[in-house]
Amino acid sequence: MLPNYIQYRYDLLRQKRSAKALAKKEPQNCEQSHESGAMQSYYRDLELSDQWRALIQTDYYRRKAESLLVEIPSINDAGMYSRVEWDDHPDEPYYLTPAGLKVVKAAIREEQKHRRESIGYWFAIAVGLIGAITGLVSVFKA
């Protein structure tokens, strides 16, 4: 299995290609297209494409949150998740809404910031010790 970010970028690339192919098949915006159901079918496919992208993002941020031990909102939280209809996907997966993505991204950023700060703290101590040792060596060498 690929690392999380590479898998995410690969899946997004596949989804983007699919969305471009869908955009090329867009029917003309005329009365005949609306009556024949071509526009309705196109808009449904467009919505499915957006849901596919949202599922990819949800999987990526869920895996990232798990690796950082960050809690994500519960599926039962209203407004944080939306669900794919059974007709579109038999598993009816949940995906994060824009509000849910915002909450998860903020939690991930906060945890990453905390980890960077702790590493910076120990790095500063190590550099200080190396500088002190270097100073002592140069004083006694002279």
pLDDT of residue 16: 96
- What domain count does the chain have? 1
Q: How far apart, in whole angstroms, are the C-alpha atoms of residue 77 and residue 100? A: 9
What domain range is 95 assigned to? 4-141
Q: What is the pLDDT of residue 91?
A: 79
pLDDT tens, per residue, the chain with 142 residues = 579 999 999 999 999 999 999 999 888 888 887 788 888 888 888 998 999 999 999 999 999 999 999 999 999 888 999 988 777 677 789 999 999 999 999 999 999 999 999 899 999 999 999 999 999 999 988 6
Predicted confidence at residue 41, as pLDDT, reads 87
What tokens does 141 get? Answer: 């060498």
Number of residues assigned to the chain: 142
Q: Which residues contact 67 (CB under 8 A, 6 or more apart)?
A: 4
Q: How many of the other CB atoms lie within 10 Å of CB of 138? A: 9
What integer pLDDT is reported at residue 142 of this predicted model? 65
Q: What residues are paired with 94 via a beta bridge? A: 83
